[in-house]
Structure 1
Amino acid sequence: MTVQDWLPKNKTDRKIIHLDMDAFYASVEELKNPQLKQKALVVAHDPRKNNGHGVITTSNYRARKYGVFSAMPATKAIENIPKNELVFVKPDFKTYRKVSKQIHCIFQEVTDLVETVAFDEAYLDVTQNKLGTDKTTIDLASYLQQRILKETGLTCSVGISYNKFLAKLGSEYAKPFGRTIILPEMATEFLKDYPINQFPGVGKKTLMRLHEHDIYTHEDLITVNIHDFLRDFKRAGYDLLQRAFGIDLRPVKANRLRKSYGKESTFLEPIHTKTKAKRMLKLYCDEIQNQLTTENLKAQTVVFKIRDSQFNTATRRQTLAQAQDQSTYFYQVACQLLDEFDTELTVGVRLLGVSVTNILDFEIQSMSLPLFQTR
C-alpha cells in the first residue's frame, strides 16, 4: 500500500478564502501618520526607552527588507536598520481592534461562515455566499479586497482554494495585495516546490526531527515508510501527510458570540453569613468582568443563582438600563438579589453563582463607519 492509501478521501467541492491583512498594525499606523511610509516602521516599544526590553509586534515592508519581522526582539531592529530610517511606534491595540471589527463587518456581507484567526486574518467559506450565484470565488475575493481598501485604506492578500490549508498558503504566496488560487488539479504541483518548514505546524523542532528521518523535500515526505513515520510522529505526522497531499478536511467554523459568561461554586461547608456570600460574589463578578474586557464585550442582564442545604435551587435576574463590563455593577445587582434569600442563608447555602447574559460587542455598537476613507 502507498502512503496515499492510508489517507482519507479528499474533499474538493468547497470554496474557501483565506484573507490576511498586509502588515496590518504597521499599515494602520501609516494611515494615521502617512510620513511613516518613508521610514522603516517597527510597531513595538522602543528598547532604548524600555531598559532594552520589547518584542516586535509587526513591521512594515520597508523594515522587513532589513530582516526585521514580528516576534523578534526589538533590539534586532536597532541592530539591522540604519538609525536615520528606523522609527518605533507603540502598539495601539484599541485602534487595531476597531479597524478589525470594521473589516469583519465586510466579511459578514459575503458569508456567515467566517472563522476569525486574529485581528488581521480570517477564513471564509463562500461555497454559499450572499452576493449571488453568478459570483465566482475570484469575484468574491476581489470584492473583499476592493471594499476593504475603499473603506479602510488598507490592503490585504487572499488565497483561494478548496480547503483552509491551501487557502492560507495561497495568501502567503501572494503578499502584499495579491491573490492566489489553487485548484484541486494544481495542488500537487504547487506543493511540490513548497518548503516543508513553511507548512503550518512545522517549527524548528519538528523540522529537525524530519531531517533526522532524511526528509527534506515534499517528495521525501510523500514517499516515506508510512509505518515508521506514523510510529515516530503519530497524529501530528498523519496530519502532515494529509497536508502534503493537499488534504485538509477541517471546516470553517463560524465565530459565535457566547450567550453568557458566569461563575459558580459548590461549598463543602454551607455558607450562613452574607459577608462570606458577598465576598464570593465579588470574586465571581471580578472574574466575569475580566472575561468581558478581554473579549471587548458588555452584558446587560445579571443572573443570580443560589442552592440551599436542602437542595432547593432558585435563580433571579435583573436587566440593567445599559450594557456594562464593570464588576461593580454586576456585584451591586448580585447583592441586591442575594438579599431576597435570608431563609436560605439560615438553612445554609451550598451553591452560589453569578452569570451575565444579553452579551453585546460594544465596539461594533459604538463604531462610526467608515473609520478611514480613501478617495
Structure 2
Amino acid sequence: MQPVTDFKEHIRKIIHVDMDAFYASVEQLDFPELQGKPIAVGGSSDRGVVAAASYEARKFGVKSAMSGRQAKRLCPDLIFVKTRFDRYKEISQRIRSIFFEYTPLVEPLSLDEAYLDVTQNTKNHPSATLLATEIRQRIKEKTGLNASAGISINKFVAKIASDINKPNGQKTIPPDEVISFLENLDVRKFYGVGKKTQEKMYAMAIFTGADLKKMSLDELEKNFGKSGLHYYQIVRGIHLSDVKPNRTRKSLGAERTFSQNFSSEVFMEEKLLQIAEEVEKRLKKSKVAGKTITLKIKYSDFNTQTRSKTLSFFIASKSLIFEEAKLLLYQEKLKDSVRLLGISLSNLNNETPKKIDYLKEQQLKLPF
C-alpha cells in the first residue's frame, strides 16, 4: 500500500475520554475515609500486583502492574483495597450511556476509556472541544468522578492529548497545530512506542517527532519492519483507523497470582486446570472459540515468558484448553520459581476481515 502523505483529507473530530485513576477514584468515592490518602487497588504488601493507584500514591512512584511489595516500599503508608470489578463495570456503563447521548460512534478501549467520533453528533454542535467539556461535566454530575479528554483530528493524536492536562483536564490539538505538536513531542510519548522501540530510536538519534520525520519510509521499514509505515504516517498526522463501535475482541483469557511461588510443574497442574475452567466460562459467555493458545508465566523475579501454539481447529472446552496449556508448561524447563500463570486464546472465530475505504473522509471546516 502506498503511504498517504497528507492528513488534511482525513480530518475527523475525535475525542478520547480517559477516567482519572478510575478504580482508585471509585474506591475513594464509595469510601470517603480513603479520600486524600494513597491507595492501591489490588495486590497486597506481600503478594499480588497493583491494578491501579490513586494520585496520592502515584506521587511516591506507585503505579499499575507494580508488585505490592515494591509499592509498599515506595509508600509505607499505602492502603491496599480489594478490586470490585462489578462496581467498576456498573459505573463504566453509566459513563458509556453518556457517550451515546452525543454519538453512536463510541469505541470503548477498557472500562475507563473510549474514543468518540463527534464529526457528526446528535447535538449538531460544530465544536468538539465544547462537546468534550460538556461530556466531562455530565460524567461528574452522574458519577461524581473526574475525566480527562483529548480532542484532535484522529485517534492517535487525541489519545496523546488526553494525557497532557491530567487529572480533570482536557487538551485540544486543532488541525493547524497537529504537525508542530508531533514534531516537538518526545517519541517515547507516541502511543504505541514501547520501551524497546524507544531505546532503539534513541540509539538512532531519534528523540523527537522532528527526528522521526527526517527518516525515509525505506529507512523506517528497514529498522522497524511493518511498523515503519505506521511511524512514517503518524508523525505526519496520518492515522486512518476509524472509531469502531463494535470492536472485535482479539483474545480472551484469565490468569492467577499464587499465594506462594511454585518450582515444580506438577504442583502447577491443579492451578492450570482452574484457570482453564475460568477461560472456558469466559469463552462461553462471549460465544467464541480460539485456535491460538498462549501460556503466560511470570517468575518470582517478575520476568515474564509466553509460550504459544496455533492449532488447526478451534477450542473452547476446559479439557482441551488444559491439555494444550499443560503441553506448553512442560515444553521447556522453567527458569525460576513461578508466581503467576495465565492462559489466553486468540485467533478467535469472531474475526472477519474487512476492507476499509481509506479515502472516504472529507476535509472539515473549523471550528474545532
TM range (shorter): 0.5 to 0.7
1:13 aligns with 2:11: yes
Tell me by how many angstroms 1:215 deviates: 1.6
Tell me by how many angstroms 1:294 deviates: 6.3
**Farther off after superposition, 15-24 or 223-232:** 223-232
> Paired residue for 1:140?
131
Within-5 A mapping of 1:136-215: 136-215=127-206
Tell me by how many angstroms 1:21 deviates: 0.3
**Farther off after superposition, 232-241 or 143-152:** 232-241
Within-5 A mapping of 1:11-160: 11-47=9-45, 52-81=46-75, 83=76, 85-131=77-123, 133-160=124-151
For residues 202 and 136 of structure 1, the distance between their equivalents in structure 2, rounded to whole angstroms, comes to 30
TM-score, normalised with respect to structure 1: 0.64
Indicate which of 205, 211, 223 corresponds to 1:220.
211
Q: Is contact 2:18-2:113 (8 Å) kept?
A: yes
The one-letter code of the counterpart of 1:216 is F
For residues 289 and 46 of structure 1, the distance between their equivalents in structure 2, rounded to whole angstroms, comes to 27
Structure 1 runs (4+) deviating above 4 angstroms are: 286-289, 292-295
**Farther off after superposition, 145-154 or 135-144:** 135-144
For residues 289 and 68 of structure 1, the distance between their equivalents in structure 2, rounded to whole angstroms, comes to 33
Cα shift readout 1:17-73 (whole Å, capped 9, x = no counterpart) = 0000000000000011112112111112213xxxx3211111111111111111111
Q: Secondary structure at the match of 1:100?
A: helix
Give the RMSD, CA atoms, in angstroms: 2.3
For residues 73 and 280 of structure 2, the distance between their equivalents in structure 1, rounded to whole angstroms, comes to 43
For residues 107 and 225 of structure 1, the distance between their equivalents in structure 2, rounded to whole angstroms, comes to 40
TM-score, normalised with respect to structure 2: 0.66
Richer in helix (by share): 1
The one-letter code of the counterpart of 1:74 is G
Q: Secondary structure at the match of 1:128?
A: coil
Q: Is contact 1:158-1:170 (8 Å) kept?
A: yes
Identical residues among aligned pairs (%): 40
Q: Secondary structure at the match of 2:142?
A: helix
Q: Is contact 2:182-2:209 (8 Å) kept?
A: yes
Tell me by how many angstroms 1:16 deviates: 0.6
Q: Is contact 2:146-2:168 (8 Å) kept?
A: yes
The one-letter code of the counterpart of 1:191 is L
The one-letter code of the counterpart of 2:87 is T
Q: Secondary structure at the match of 1:176?
A: coil
Tell me by how many angstroms 1:88 deviates: 0.5
Matched residues, number: 258
For residues 41 and 17 of structure 2, the distance between their equivalents in structure 1, rounded to whole angstroms, comes to 21
Structure-2 change in CA distance of 1:287 and 1:38 (3 Å): closer
Cα shift readout 1:120-169 (whole Å, capped 9, x = no counterpart) = 000000111112x2452122111210111001000100111110001111
Q: Secondary structure at the match of 1:104?
A: helix
Tell me by how many angstroms 1:183 deviates: 0.9
Q: Secondary structure at the match of 1:110?
A: coil
For residues 292 and 134 of structure 1, the distance between their equivalents in structure 2, rounded to whole angstroms, comes to 42
Which runs of 5 or more residues in structure 1 are unaligned? 259-285, 296-375
